[in-house]
Structure 1
Amino acid sequence: MAYQLPALPYDYTALEPAISKTTLEFHHDKHHASYVSKYNAAVEGTDFDKMAIEDVIKSIAGDPSKSGLFNNAAQAWNHSFYWNSMKPGGGGMPTGALASKLNADFGSYDKFVEAFKAAGGGQFGSGWAWLVVDGGTLKVTKTGNAENPLHLGQTPLLTMDVWEHAYYLDYQNKRPDYIAEFLGKLVNWDFAAANFAAA
């Protein structure tokens, strides 16, 4: 039951100028594809091959003997989630129930933005910034390398990749500029709202 590399939910040029066609081609077709390929090769012929990738991630997290498998499983899943966390013409403020909950738990949309920028900008080295539901409360978290909220009992609503390959061709070392563009022009609040409704 091989994990399939998902097609991007938009054209390679759809996120320009915030994210270039070149970045998406390298990021999706090379980096993400490599994680998927390595994950499938690692689980082929094992009991993990019969499991959903989310269950594999949860079952092996924290096991040093499975770190290679975890890294490829989590990175394959994280990237699939990341593509859906963006959309052409996205960004700005959410609406509806998610907006109300965000205001209740953070105090305001601006306070959420502040926390999300701090998480993405403050992640030393490679990693991810997340908006999650944790114990019924919306929180911003960050994870290093391949880590994600799935095995921490949290429900991810959206994520932003802060590995250098996500932004370096377009922004070089200016990660804060990438984060600002992500929040202002890319966030897919419809995706986050659907995850929130299902949480």
Structure 2
Amino acid sequence: MILELPALPFDSHQLEPYLSKAWVEDRYQGDHQRHLTALNRWTSGTGAATSSLEDVVSKAHGEVLEHAVEAWNLTLFWHCLLPRPTAPEGRLNEELTQKFGSFTGLREAMHGQVEDELEQGNRRPGWLWLLHSNRGMSLTISARGQRLDAASGRPLLVMDLGCGKSPVEQLWPLIHWDFVAQNLGDCH
């Protein structure tokens, strides 16, 4: 099976002024496509059968794993964005409020998580995750190409920390809360 670049759920210019059309196209047509091309080269070169990107993520190691994880992360990331999102409602809003005190509390916690990472000397942009597990919601950061530990929880939202100097501020107005709520609804 050939892994193909999934269509963006929006036009590349629609995230402006928060994310430039050039940045979206470079990240999508450049980086995302490069990861998939590397994976397709690997699967054709090894004869490894794959049914999905998730299949590769679960089986791969080393450089192949890094490409698979980045391709998977980017696919999720694009779906976490929407040009004109609405605020979280229902169960999602309740759980965010329970964990972070308020919707604003989540935003502040995200800022704090990124700042803590920078203070620890990690200058390599990675990914900021909102996760859900049987213990509730949590935030974590992963490095580029690093697979999340399944025990950490199910990803609800991911932010690309390489999008600029203040990724939470840039991405916050674009978060597709209905998609995040759908991911939460899939948690059992």
Query: Do the two structures share a fold, i.e. TM-score over 0.5?
Result: yes
Which secondary structure does the structure 1 equivalent of 2:64 belong to?
Answer: helix
Q: Note the C-alpha offset of 1:55.
A: 3.3
Q: Is the aligned partner of 1:20 residue 2:20?
A: yes
Q: Percent identity?
A: 28
- Mark the CA change 1:51 to 1:151 in structure 2 (over 3 Å): closer, same or farther: farther
Whether the 8 Å CA contact 1:35–1:73 is kept in 2: the answer is yes
Which secondary structure does the structure 1 equivalent of 2:128 belong to?
Answer: strand
- Mark the CA change 1:179 to 1:32 in structure 2 (over 3 Å): closer, same or farther: same
Q: Note the C-alpha offset of 1:25.
A: 1.2
Q: Note the C-alpha offset of 1:67.
A: 1.0
Whether the 8 Å CA contact 2:50–2:56 is kept in 1: the answer is no
4+ runs deviating over 6 angstroms: none
Match of 1:39 in 2: 39
Give the superposed CA RMSD.
Answer: 1.9
Whether the 8 Å CA contact 2:36–2:71 is kept in 1: the answer is yes
Question: Counterpart amino acid of 2:125?
Answer: S
Once residues 47 and 141 of structure 1 are traced to their aligned partners in structure 2, the CA distance between those partners, rounded to angstroms, is 35
Whether the 8 Å CA contact 1:127–1:143 is kept in 2: the answer is yes
Q: 1:85 aligns with which of 65, 76, 80?
A: 80
Match of 2:65 in 1: 70
Q: Which runs of 5+ in 2 are unaligned?
A: none
Match of 2:176 in 1: 188
Whether the 8 Å CA contact 2:131–2:152 is kept in 1: the answer is no
Once residues 25 and 59 of structure 2 are traced to their aligned partners in structure 1, the CA distance between those partners, rounded to angstroms, is 32
Whether the 8 Å CA contact 1:120–1:128 is kept in 2: the answer is no
Q: Is the aligned partner of 1:142 residue 2:141?
A: yes
Match of 2:97 in 1: 103
Q: Note the C-alpha offset of 1:47.
A: 6.6
- Mark the CA change 1:46 to 1:153 in structure 2 (over 3 Å): closer, same or farther: farther
Of the structure 1 ranges 151-160 and 33-42, higher mean CA displacement relative to structure 2 is found in 151-160
- Mark the CA change 1:96 to 1:148 in structure 2 (over 3 Å): closer, same or farther: farther
Q: Is the aligned partner of 1:112 residue 2:106?
A: yes
Q: Note the C-alpha offset of 1:152.
A: 4.1
- Mark the CA change 1:139 to 1:116 in structure 2 (over 3 Å): closer, same or farther: same
Whether the 8 Å CA contact 1:106–1:112 is kept in 2: the answer is yes
Of the structure 1 ranges 143-152 and 94-103, higher mean CA displacement relative to structure 2 is found in 143-152
Once residues 138 and 5 of structure 2 are traced to their aligned partners in structure 1, the CA distance between those partners, rounded to angstroms, is 29
More helix by share: 1
- Mark the CA change 1:122 to 1:153 in structure 2 (over 3 Å): closer, same or farther: closer
Aligned residue pair count? 182
Which secondary structure does the structure 1 equivalent of 2:49 belong to?
Answer: helix
Q: Which runs of 5+ in 1 are unaligned?
A: 61-65, 168-174
Q: Note the C-alpha offset of 1:89.
A: 1.6
- Mark the CA change 1:43 to 1:119 in structure 2 (over 3 Å): closer, same or farther: farther
Match of 1:179 in 2: 168
Question: Counterpart amino acid of 2:102?
Answer: S
